[in-house]
Structure 1
Amino acid sequence: MVFAPDTEVALRSVVGLINSAANGREGLAAQADLDAFLEAEGFTGSRTRDAAELDSVRALRRELTLLWTADEDTAVEIVNRLLREAKALPQLVKHDGWDWHLHASVPEAPLADRMSTEAAMALADVIRGKEMDRLRTCEAEDCDAVVLDLTRNRSKRYCDTGNCANRAHVAAYRARQAAAG
C-alpha cells in the first residue's frame, strides 16, 4: 500500500471522474450518469440533483484534469484553492463500514465541494509524499485518459478505460514477429 486506504479510494475516484471525459466522450452527459458515477464511487451525503450540481461536478473535473498533469508548485496552488473554497475543516470520522478516516467537509455541503475536498485531501498526501510521478496519462498514442500508478515498481503505463495495454502489447508482439520473420 502506497497511501492510506481512504486516500487511494479518493485518488481512484479522481481518476474515474477525469476519465469520464477521456477520449472525446462525455460520461456525465445527464443526471443519471452522475447518479451512476456517485453510486459506483460510494459518494454519500446531500444532493440537489439539478443541472447546477451536474455543471459544478463537470467544472471540478476540468480543475482536477489540470491538477493531474501539473508541476508540484501548480498542484499545491490548486489543492490549496480547492480546500480554501470548500472551507475544508478536516475531522476524523467513522461510517458505512469504514474505520477512522479523514473527512474535511460535512455531508450537507454541496456535492462538488465534498468531491473537491476529498480529491484535494488525497492529492495533498500525494504531494507531501513526493509521489506526483504516480499521476500519469495513458501512454497509448490515441488515448488521453489518466493513470494512477499504485504499483510498487511504478510500472503502470496504460489506463483502465479501454484496452490500451492489450492493444500496445499486441502491436509490440506483431512488430517482434514481423522483425523475426
Structure 2
Amino acid sequence: MPFTHDTEVALAEAAALVNTLGDDGDSLETRAGLDAFLARYPFSGRVTGDAEELRTVRRLRERLRAFWAVADRDEAAALVNALLADCATSPYLSKHDHYDWHLHVTHPDAPLGMRIGAEAAMGFLDLVRSDDLDRLRTCAAEDCSDVLVDLSRNHSKRYCDTGNCANRAHVAAYRARKRTSA
C-alpha cells in the first residue's frame, strides 16, 4: 500500500530520532545535536532551544523505539493512542512554505517534543490501520541495532540509512562469492 507523503516523512523522522541513540553513542547529548537533527528533519513551529526541550525530545525517542518491538496491532494501537493523548493533538489543515494542504496534528506553539510525537503517532497510526507493522524493522547488519522503516514496494529493505551497513554486507557477500569461486 502506498502511503501519503506525510506518513512517509513522519515514519522516517521517527526512525531517525530513534537512531540518534545507537551503537555509536548518543547524538542528542547536546543542544547542537538536536539542532543538527532539526536541520535535517525540520519541524514547523516554535523551537525554544532550552535544556527542557532537549530532555523532552530524548524521552520521546525512547517511547518511539517501543514501536519497533510491538508484538501485534493491538499493542501498537495502544501505544499510538497513548502518544496521541499525551501530545494533546488537535488536527487541522495547513498550507505553508512549499507544501500544499496537509495535516498538522498539534498547534505550532506546542512544545517540540509534542509536535514530533504527534506526527510520529500519525505515521504509526497508518501502519496499524493498513496492517503494515512488518515495515518496522531493525537493520539486518550483525553489528548494527538501528531501526528502519521499509517503505519499498516489495518490502525488501533490510539495512538502515544511518551507516554503510548495506554496502558492507554487499561487499562481504561479493568477497565470499569470489573466495568460493576461486
Query: Alpha-carbon deviation of 1:69?
Result: 2.5
Q: Which amino acid aligns with 1:41?
A: Y
Query: Alpha-carbon deviation of 1:177?
Result: 1.7
Query: Alpha-carbon deviation of 1:52?
Result: 1.2
Query: How far apart, in 1, do the equivalents of 2:64 and 2:11 lie?
Result: 11
Show the counterpart of 1:17. Answer: 17
Show the counterpart of 2:152. Answer: 151
Show the counterpart of 1:138. Answer: 139
Runs of 5+ unmatched residues, structure 2: none
Q: Deviations over 1:91-120 (max 9, x none)?
A: 111112111111110000011011100000
Q: How many residues align?
A: 181
Alignment of 1:27-176 (within 5 A): 27-71=27-71, 72-176=73-177
TM-score between both structures, scaled by the size of structure 2: 0.95
Moved more, 68-77 or 164-173: 68-77
Overall identity of the aligned pairs, in %: 52
Query: Alpha-carbon deviation of 1:24?
Result: 4.0
Q: Which amino acid aligns with 1:77?
A: A
Determine helix, strand or coil for the equivalent of 1:76: helix
Q: Which amino acid aligns with 2:68?
A: W
Runs of 5+ unmatched residues, structure 1: none
Hey, which bits of structure 1, 4+ residues long, moved more than 2 A? none
TM-score between both structures, scaled by the size of structure 1: 0.95
